[in-house]
Amino acid sequence: MKTILLHIHDDNGQESRMQAAFDIARATGGHISCHQVTPLAEYVAGDIYGGSYIPPTEIDIIRESEDKARAVVEARMQREGVPWDWRHSDGEVVHCLLSASRLTDVVIVSLPAQGRRSAGDPLPIVPGLAISSRAPVIAIPVAARGFQCLGRAMVAWDGSHEASVALCASRPLLALASEVHVVAVEEKAKRDFPPFDANEYLSRHGISSEIHEWPRKGRSVEEALAAAAAELRIDWIAMGAFGHSRLRETIFGGVTRYLLSEGQVPLLLAH
């Protein structure tokens, strides 16, 4: 992970995002590209004629606040002693980050708070990024204290294209993990690519892993995966994102949606 795109936004998830970026940069010899996005659409006001605009005084306030936030982040970066650069753009946050991620190895953002309880909660941008980003997206819980590169990693495996992409994308970090657990929830249907295939792929790259066929015990797939992560004391999870259509997951739920809302550990997502 040599190029790490870090979303900069003054919210209550920024500290955990930054710490995760520092951890990964130090473990991989990577460079952090800080990207601050001004979501101008959130500041647009309307007039009686149906037009829209941003009051000049509002723009001045926004820029002043961003300059202060940038000064704080830059001072922190210099103290941490990791390679970094700074970028800024105005526009829709997901679009700007996707544009900036074309030549990056990973994008670091925050897991959204359920329902955004306050203005300080992280923006709900993970689904839009995960579904469209070429690079894997690491979503960090607000309460996380960083990213445990040397900890226990779990690969959520169902043999799908998305799971395969996530496995390959996470390989540099899996190589650093102290333990790698490939977890597949028990199913009656035969998989085209069983967990053994994931295990074999990793072994060819010198990564040892343990396979688990996790029992459902009347639970949904996502509940069984969450139980596996808790029982195995997992530090982070690599998983395919939105194996079903976004519409279907929105209406009926799904593994991605469940873990985004209930996730207790960092998620590496790839589609």
Domain boundaries defined on the chain: 3-140, 152-270
According to CATH, the topology of domain 3-140 is Rossmann fold (3.40.50)
Distance CA 113, CA 261 (A): 7
Question: What number does CATH give the domain 152-270?
Answer: 3.40.50.620
pLDDT of residue 49: 45
Instruction: List the structure tokens of 141.
Output: 């819980």
Residues lower than pLDDT 70 in the chain = 40-58, 113-117, 188-191, 243-253
- Pair 54, 45: CB distance under 8 Å: yes
pLDDT of residue 253: 43
pLDDT of residue 248: 39
Distance CA 255, CA 243 (A): 9
pLDDT of residue 80: 94
Within 13 A of 26's CA, how many CA atoms are on the CB side? 14
Three-point CA angle 137, 138, 144, nearest 5°: 160
pLDDT of residue 7: 97
Domain 3-140 and domain 152-270, same fold? Reply is yes
214: amino acid identity, one letter: W
